[in-house]
Structure 1
Amino acid sequence: MDRIPEVAVVGAGIVGLCTAYALVERGASVRVYESGVPGHGQSGGQSRIFRHAHDDSRLVAFTREGRAVWDEWADRLGAELVSPDGVVALGGAVPDRLRILREAGGIPARPVDGTELRARMPLLADYQGPAMLDEGGGAIRTRTAIERLTGALGDRVVTDEVISVHPTGQGTVEVLSAAGRAQYATAVVCAGLGTARLARGVGLSLPVRPAAHVRLTFRVRGTPPERVACLQDSSGHFGETGVYAAPYPGNDRYAVGLSQTVGVREDGSFVDPGELVALNDRARAYVSRALPGLDPEPVEYLHCWVTSLPWSEDGMAVWEAEGIFFAAGHNLFKQAPRLGRALAGAATGEGLEEDLRPAAKLGRPR
């Protein structure tokens, strides 16, 4: 009879894969349950932004530590996982963000003028307002990260839907799945929209706010630039105050999303499906005004779920119940290697970091 692994990880998005990889680093045996294709749920798409700037200095420090893990894993997995071209941020929040980054220490970020802004972001229309460059940020190569981690985990990743995770009362955790039943020493649930449902099965009510999000991808006009930074635009100068954008590998395409989301009911149905169409239209209009270096006709659409916590768009937390850990939050792709190591430590008996407990409200503006 095959030996059952020590730890079950539910969900093979980026957080689940990073947690499993960090467990393997520690020599722990692990099984990862995924009902679909790894990395094609809330971790879908070709790029994400790695940025250090946050409103909570604790989260800035957490992110700084995470950047080192991204670099370490890039060397080990033999692939670029974060581009070296930085992140440009626009808008009135720039001075406060720079102050928090300076206080954190060790993060190369600085204001930039119009000349350097054009060099870093050649796709952008003329802009003369406050701007900064996070030199240690960049575009996360999401597909590469998912593929390399999945490949490294090999047959530890199984295609199976988890129905229930619960303590047995005998110091173990039982996982009931579509294809079987197994017991583990502990379990980590990183199932995105499904995390709150599984947590309810052990008496936890996670304050996760589900919503839907839109991100469009556009072709770069002409020859792709050798260097192009990611973009965060909260300026309102081009008609929107919550825009983020990141290049694809090769810089021939650029993904643009609005931070606004579309609300959903508890059963997952949309309050107003037309709001998704409206967000698509607003993103296209923004590109026409702000990014003349892009063809304004989208070539790809990504619609995905968002699971945010009430204290911050960047908030994250981990709930614990009798040997089961439930991770939840939004904008977690950039945090995944560092969060994965923290979850692996908790699952192997080191205890959960205090800043990750729900009472800490990590990500809350200070």
Structure 2
Amino acid sequence: MGLTYFKQFIQVVVSLGIAIWIFWFLYRDIEFEALITQTKASNWSWIMGSLIISMVGFWIRSWRWTLLISSDEGKQVTSARAYHAVMVGYLVNMLVPRAGEVARCGVLKRTNGISIGHLLGTVIVERSIDLLFLIGVILLAFIVEHELFITLANQLVDFSSLGRNLLSKLPYLIAFFAILIVGISMIFRRFRDHGLVNKLQHFFREILSGLRRLGQLNNQLGFWVSSAMLWVIYFLTMYTVSLGIPSTANLSSGQVLLVMVMGSIGMIAPVQGGIGTFHALVAFILIQLGISEIDGKIFAAIIHATQVVLVVVAGLISWIIVLKLPSWTKPTTH
């Protein structure tokens, strides 16, 4: 157990170190006075509006989660209870990347008596749907700003060279994945009674159960509309901040969409709160859109910092509320 905690500690320290290094490298030439000047020149009515929009997004995500959670076990989860669990999860993610997903499941297990396996299955389904919508948003950005999108993509990746390399190595890739699939199947059959294999099989069964549940939801329309609304919320959050900062106030909605896509990709990185990666990608896209390097980096710093403050404050409030809630106990039968 001690070795496990030590490994987790090392992983947290390494990811935090990488995040801090990226942040330092990005902002090492930015004078603090420039940040203060830009902050004072910003219209904070727009920025505060973006925080209100974000709070609406947190509630929508929480309500959507309740649609996936089965009421067959434990106590039915209310939107308020799901909201507090989600915010605790966001708070934990600020410290340990990806641990927030387990933390929010742990909250509902304690307060509502729902199994961790079932809850993790719903979270995985959530993330899978979010990934599908992210791909859809990337396609939308391509349609809206296709010329700029292609120019930026070519700067990041040499697609012609990549395509040639993939074609030349395609037989090896097919053979590798075939061997991998056969090998995993043999391991599962050979060690099917092993505890770890049983846990993995149970884990995958929970995922499949969650995916099947999508077709059995009582509120299919609500789930898919709320999933789409979350991305509308992300866009409006980014757009209102851009209106509040003089250097980005004239960006078109299509350009802001590109900034949002890059920011979303930066938040996927396994570092605490997207620190560094979010700033680097958002600043990169803004520079390509004609915003000065300093203004692009300051924009990324302002939007990220305000969101972090919001998550920390709301997360701490939810954490305090959760601590005061009684633990769920299974009703006794007579």
TM superposition score category, shorter chain reference = under 0.3
Name the structure with the higher strand share. Answer: 1
With the length of structure 2 as denominator, give the TM-score of the two structures: 0.23
With the length of structure 1 as denominator, give the TM-score of the two structures: 0.22
Name the structure with the higher helix share. Answer: 2
